[in-house]
Copies of this chain bind each other. A is one copy, B any other.
Amino acid sequence: MAIVLGENRYGKAENRVFRITRQGDTHEILDLNVSVQLMGDFTETHLTGDNAKVLPTDTQKNTVFALSHKLGPLEPEAFGIALARHFIGTQQYVSGAEIRIEQYPWQRIVSKGKPHPRAFRRDGSHVRTATVRASREGASLRAWVTSGLEKLVVLKTGDSAFKGYLRDAFTTLKETDDRIMATEVTACWRWSTCDPSKLDGVDWATSHRTAMDTMLAVYADHYSLSLQQTLFAMGEAVLKQQDAIAAVRLSLPNKHHFVVDLSPFGQRNANEVHIAADRPYGFIEAVVQRDDAPPPPATWPNW
């Protein structure tokens, strides 16, 4: 028996890239948080501290900013592919890369009834995400792309029931056909192809906006018998809408809002006044996928 190096990677995390693109007096902005992880031939630095094959994370940071300048305001998925291509294409010891990008949305401030050309406010309703996992394949690149979103908090005050569930000795929950159902959506969807040339024409912004709008509409319109059912319906709608997406993964914490018992004070609370609870919370996770979806890429071991 010997002790050996297993899976490993390294990089520079949370490079906060903020870009202005000027078209005369009107400015567009792009606000990204870019994290780079590189995989490759890094055994020596682990075993002996010989750094000859190590591209410093400081250099990776410089590269992120310099490429952002050179390439202009790319969508997160496209910037991720470009960064992966750069590191794998120019660094002989790098065989793979994972680029994770968060995009923070902004809206123009409205002044005198018009969107201002150079002033913005944060749209705190969600964070857009993109992840590119790429590897060298001979002379070319394979790139698995996922798009997604986080921190999208939604709540519905009707059209939600939970009953008919399994009971055992530890069951005390009452059935209900009128409950608040609230969650904070974390969603990501992976693209079928891993040939980056086939992704060149994707309109990432439109795809993302329609995916989010679709999930929101399904959530709103759906009569929910369980959060699982709602989850499946949300993922299914995205797949029906966009052929190039292979699968959707959703993580939905059940943000409980409990009806407050006011009967000790002689008040009848008809599901009107609730207390919003923090912990514990239900947590529902699932993948909705095409039955012919290609397998997902290898990911960092999460045991």
Contacts and interface: CB of A to CB of B under 8 A. Distances in A.
Main secondary structure of the interface of A (DSSP, over half): mixed
Given A109-B219, A166-B53, A289-B4, A31 B276 contact: yes
A119 B283 contact: no
A133 B299 CA distance: 18
A152 B278 CA distance: 22
A226 B51 contact: yes
A273 B224 contact: no
Contact of A121 (B25, B116, B216): B216
A303 B131 contact: yes
Interface in A246-298: 247, 249, 253-254, 257, 260, 262, 264-265, 267, 269, 271-293, 296-297
Contact of A276 (B16, B158, B180): B16
A6 B113 CA distance: 31
Interface string A1-18: 111111111111111111
Contacts of A188: 303
Contacts of A276: 16-18, 31
A156 B120 contact: yes
A87 to B, nearest CB: 10
B109 A59 contact: no
B283 A12 contact: yes
A139 interface: no
Interface residues of A, number: 157
A122 B153 contact: yes
A273 to B, nearest CB: 5
Contacts of A75: none
A293 B4 CA distance: 10
Given A1-B290, A20-B157, A56-B165, 15 more contacts: A3-B288, A5-B289, A7-B287, A12-B281, A17-B275, A37-B285, A45-B229, A49-B229, A57-B254, A59-B172, A62-B265, A107-B125, A120-B154, A131-B303, A146-B303
